[in-house]
Structure 1
Amino acid sequence: MAPPPELIDDVAAEIFLRLPPDEPEHLFRASLVCKPWLRVISDPAFLRRYRAYHRTPPLLGYARRRKAILEGDADPRLFPTTVVPLAPNPCFRQALDCHHGRVLLHAYEKDHWYLIVWDPVTGDEHRVPDAAIHSLIYSAAVFCAVSGCDHLDCHGGPFRVVFIDTDGSDNLIKACIYSSETGAWSTPVALSDGWETYVKHRQDALNGEYYRSIPFVQPRRGAVLGDEIYFTLWEADAIIKYDCGKNFLFMINAPLQDADNIALMEMEDNSLGFVYIKCSRLYLWSRKANSEGAAEWMQFKLIELMKMTPVSSPDDNAFVVGCAEGVGVIFVTTGAGLFTIKVNSGQVKKIGKPEVYFSILPYMSFYTPGNVQLIGYMLIVIMHVTPYACLLDRLLFVDS
């Protein structure tokens, strides 16, 4: 006598629950085997369990940002790191950020600039007017605007965009925020003269001592920690914090001086992380509250890169160009290419050829079967359905 259908579905769901989210093709291939499996995998309740079980959205791809902002990117697109198809790339000049399942793009059309907030999984695009700041060197961040959201399924909800730059007209650091709910930018706010490091560098520049002394905002990906967005500066050995709730800019000191090639990231405990490479050593710092409640930098980890990361010559150096929060992945570039390093295991993987990489923008999102995605993926795998009997046998013995 055949077992009850409920039992079959329950067992299948427990097996599918353990399929790795960073290899979403397994879930899609399983859904193509038969209708009962498709019903289980596409069930909204199962998909919620799947996301909660794995907790952190996987890395699906990355965009890159060039140092020469006005030149744009010679090949502007999102580079996938899995075999599943993402939505077609919009037409744009420069990628600016990736957070909470969204990609922020800078586009140019008919003598004016504008922003695009794009979801590579669903294909949704939202056009945003350019910020009202005379931008020269700038950065930006896009993030979910839903209070209390766990960011495991951020698709189609309201979002915000923070734009920060060193204004070319007065050399002041300014920021403003856009809300998709109001459809408008806030009035730009400038960093005040109450920050000693900032004032010194800016005064040196105004006195004509050295133009590079101006503390320009680095065109790198920022770190999003709730309502606080962090960006890095050139020459000032400092980090800029924009508080969305207070609409105010702050400056905090970096843990190291003269550290230009750095990356900021959100740590697992929601603290601010600082990554830097010097003399073939990767340093990871975390900013936490001490016993007196004051925030201070603490060295979290040190990784020796001498024999881990391939180089093109003995004089070649490694530079950190990005981080993927939640999955413990750091992006490093050398003359031999672009590599990912897993912080916990030290595993190194090459993902890009040798090029100029200034800032890598990791795109992270769960990619699970839905109507649009399933049709697109079916075109790729319909002739290559993997036999799943062996895979299911192995998964039956995987400990949860």
Structure 2
Amino acid sequence: MSGDVQRLRSPADTLALRTNIEASAVLCAVSGCDHGGCHGGPFAVAFVANYVMEGEEEEITSPTSAWLYSSETGTWSAPSTVRHHNAEPFPKPSVLAGDGAVYFLTWHGRNILRYDLRKLDLTVIASPEIDDDDFENHLLMTTEDGGMGLARLVSGHSLQLWSWKPVSAAAAWVQLRVIDLDLVIPGDAMRPRLLGFAEGTDMVFVDTTYDGAQVVQQIELSTLKVTKVLDECYASCVLPYMSFFLPGT
């Protein structure tokens, strides 16, 4: 890794506000890039935040807003705002889908925030109906056709794979597959958690507990091959490196 660091100021609209929950995604802004060597090139940052406005007598919860930063202009876009009872971003990885939008999970996985990078428009998509006991076990991913997908772990062992089909008024979730993890992960493992997804692949990462220690495993969804990748990792999410920059190359 190059070690370069660039710090950004928050959008001007948020400077007088206290952030409640926020999330962001760094995006390559190089046209036609294959992302094999775009370090140091122009980039964009999609930033979403739910914040509170402090009044004299009480705190008023604000709507959720999104902005887009361009490194080429050094400026933030105007905010796009939604008013929804459950639109607080959840600290899990976001995904960039082929429809030109970046997606963020909301708290408890009940909704998904969609930020259109062309229209700079923030909207809310309802997730498939969930059980409150499994609210942490949601993970955004991309599908084979580049669309937005959702992996959900139900009852600790049933891995459901969903695809969002945004076809005008007929937009709906389609369940692609259900995988019984009891048949994939060794039986002495305790209840697994979804941690991450490797973009451009069909691999997800889960952690399980063996003899009191947390172990991160990689599951290849097409073959159901399981590979241990980390020992004793106490993380809430995993972001795998897909390529490396070596100085002098």
Q: Which range, TM-score by smaller chain?
A: 0.7 to 0.9
User: Which position in structure 1 is the counterpart of 2:64?
Assistant: 173
Query: How many Å separate the matches in 1 of 2:247 and 2:92?
Result: 35
Which of 92, 112, 121 aligns to 1:220? It is 92
**1:330, 1:236 → 2: CA distance?**
17
Greater relative contact order (CA < 8 Å, ≥ 6 in sequence): 1
Q: Which structure's CA Rg is the greater one?
A: 1
Aligned residues: 229
Give deviations 1:328-384, integer Å, cap 9, x for gaps. 11011122311111111111112223343222222222x48x6625xxxxxxxxxxx
Q: Structure 1's 293 and 248: CA in aligned 2 closer, same or farther, altered over 3 A? A: closer
2:172 maps to 296
Structure 1 residue 190 displacement after superposition: 1.5
Gap change, CA 1:151 and 1:295, over 3 Å in 2: farther
Once the 2 structures are TM-superposed, how far is the Cα of residue 311 of structure 1 from its aligned partner? 6.8
Task: Give yes or no for the alignment of 1:347 onto 2:225.
Answer: yes
Q: Is the aligned partner of 1:242 residue 2:115?
A: yes
Q: Percent same amino acid at aligned positions?
A: 34
**3-state DSSP class of the match of 1:146?**
coil
Structure 2 distance, partners of 1:356, 1:311, is 21
Correspondent of 2:195 among 313, 321, 329:
321
Equivalent position to 2:163, from 279, 282, 286 = 286
Maintained 8 Å contact 1:215/1:236: no
SS of equivalent to 1:157: coil
> In proportion to residue count, which structure has more strand?
2
> Does the aligned pair in 1 maintain the 2:87–2:113 contact within 8 Å?
no
1:186 aligns with 2:77: yes
| C-alpha separation in 2, matches of 1:236 and 1:277 | 11
Q: Which amino acid aligns with 2:70?
A: S
Q: Which stretch of the first structure deviates more once superposed, 251-260 or 322-331?
A: 251-260
Measured in 2, the distance between the counterparts of 1:159 and 1:270 equals: 21
Q: Within 5 A, what are the aligned runs for 1:1-400?
A: 120=1, 122-132=2-12, 133=14, 134-169=18-53, 170-191=61-82, 193=83, 198=84, 202=85, 215-226=87-98, 227-235=100-108, 237-258=110-131, 259-260=134-135, 261-279=137-155, 280-288=157-165, 294-310=170-186, 316-336=190-210, 337-365=215-243, 367=244, 372=248
8 Å Cα contact 1:135/1:167 also seen in 2: yes
Is the Cα contact below 8 Å between 1:267 and 1:326 reproduced in 2? Answer: no
Structure 1 segments (4+ residues) deviating >6 Å: none
Distance 1:309-1:165 versus aligned 2 partners, 3 A rule: farther
Deviations 1:216-253 (A, max 9, x none): 21011111125301011124721110112212111112
Q: Partners in 2 of 1:319 and 1:238 — Cα distance? A: 19
Output the CA distance in 1 between the equivalents of 2:166 and 2:69.
30
Instruction: Give the TM-score normalised by the residue count of structure 1.
Output: 0.52
* Residues 220 and 232, structure 1, Cα contact 8 Å, conserved in 2: yes
Q: What letter corresponds to residue 221 of structure 2 in structure 1?
A: V
Query: CA, structure 1 residues 276+228, in 2 after alignment: closer, same or farther (shift >3 Å)?
Result: same
Whole-angstrom CA distance in 2 between matches of 1:185 and 1:311: 50
Gaps of 5+ in 2: 54-60
The answer as to whether partners of 1:140 and 1:221 remain within 8 angstroms in 2 is: no
Unaligned regions of 5+ residues in structure 1, if any? 1-119, 203-213, 374-400
- Indicate the structure with greater helix content: 1
Whole-Å separation in 2 of the counterparts to 1:242 and 1:353: 36
What is the distance in 1 between the residues matched to 2:161 and 2:144?
13
Partner of 2:57: none
Whether the 8 Å CA contact 2:87–2:124 is kept in 1: the answer is no
State whether residues 264 and 275 of structure 1, in contact with CA within 8 Å, keep that contact through their aligned partners in structure 2.
Answer: yes
- For residues 167-224 of structure 1, what are the alpha-carbon distances to aligned partners after superposition, in whole Å with 9 as ceiling and x for unaligned? 1333321111111001122233211x4xxxx2xxx3xxxxxxxxxxx54210111111
> Take 1:346 and 1:242, find their aligned partners in 2: how far apart are those partners?
32
Is the contact between residue 102 and residue 114 of structure 2 (CA under 8 Å) also seen in structure 1? yes
